[in-house]
Amino acid sequence: MPTFDIETHKGDIEAIATAVRRTWMVPAGPIQDLTSWIERTGCFVIHIDLPDAAMDGVTIQAPDITPPCIFLNRDQPADRMRFSLAHELGHLVMHRIPTLRMEEEANAFAGAFLAPAKDIRPYFSRRRIDLALLANLKPEWRMAMAALLYRAKQLKFVNDNQARYLWQQFNMHKIRMREPPELDFSTEQPTLMPKLLSLHIGQLGYSVADLQILLSMYEEELVEFHNLTSATRPPDRPKLRIVS
């Protein structure tokens, strides 16, 4: 996964997001399955129940040992989950060392990565930016109306007063925390970890109990956590072990 020192890039988060998309050869426009693109780099994306309701995602990576693991709170709408995933990607790309502005910078990266300036500008240019427009753009860009407003303000298509008025509209229509359900789309599902675990069970001869020991998890928790209910261990197949 590419990493960029934000200081050497003079804080140009737009350029960093563009560079990551170019490195991954992501086509212009909306990203249809962000989870799939991130998993292609070897990064694990895992949906879990986070005890802190205010936490949408967290990334864990042991230096030079394991690939990064992005844990996302499964109790959030699909649009917010995609933004949370892009936010965590921003941390991986830019923040090898924590900074005071890292959360703000990760949010800026998420907006720039999901909706590159040159791609989203025609959708905002010479148009009245209101709730109706944001609602129309949401299914195509697969971003929350709030995230699209955030992006429009980033790109100076709305000023502070206009943004304040629109946030008031969000509150008035009670969609600040939960946008209209009719605009929902399906949640992206991670596949890398389930495939890896199924490979260990189906091809390498591990049982769920074996994996439970390796991963330091309760067996019931492992089955539910990684959806292993259909995975069965083939009979009479020796386990493949790596011996150093």
Secondary structure tally for the chain: helices H, strands E = 11, 3
For residue 84, give the amino acid letter.
Answer: S
Count CA atoms within 13 Å of residue 224 on its CB side.
Answer: 7
Residue-wise pLDDT tens digits, 3-23: 887 766 667 999 999 999 999
Count CA atoms within 13 Å of residue 164 on its CB side.
Answer: 3
pLDDT value at residue 217? 67
Starting at the edge strand found earlier in the chain, the sheet holding 69-73 runs: 44-48, 69-73, 57-60
Residue-wise pLDDT tens digits, 159-179: 999 999 999 999 999 999 899
Count CA atoms within 13 Å of residue 36 on its CB side.
Answer: 6
pLDDT value at residue 213? 75
Handedness of CA 111, 135, 75, 172 (dihedral sign): positive
Q: What is the mean pLDDT of each run of 10 residues along the chain (244 residues)?
A: 72 92 96 97 90 81 77 93 97 90 96 97 96 97 97 96 97 93 95 82 77 71 62 50 51
Predicted TM-score (pTM) of the model is 0.84
- Spell out the residues 6+ positions from residue 196 whose beta carbon is closer than 8 angstroms to its own: none
**Largest Cα–Cα distance of the chain, in whole Å?**
70
Residue-wise pLDDT tens digits, 135-164: 999 999 999 999 999 999 999 999 999 999
pLDDT value at residue 175? 95
**How far is 204 from 212, CA to CA, in rounded Å?**
15
Nearest-CA neighbor of 135 among 127, 69, 143?
Answer: 143
pLDDT value at residue 51? 73
Dihedral Cα 134, 136, 140, 144, nearest 10 deg: 40
The tokens describing 212, both together, are 């439970």
Type and span of the H or E element at 93:
helix 78-94
Strand bridging mode 69-73 / 44-48: parallel
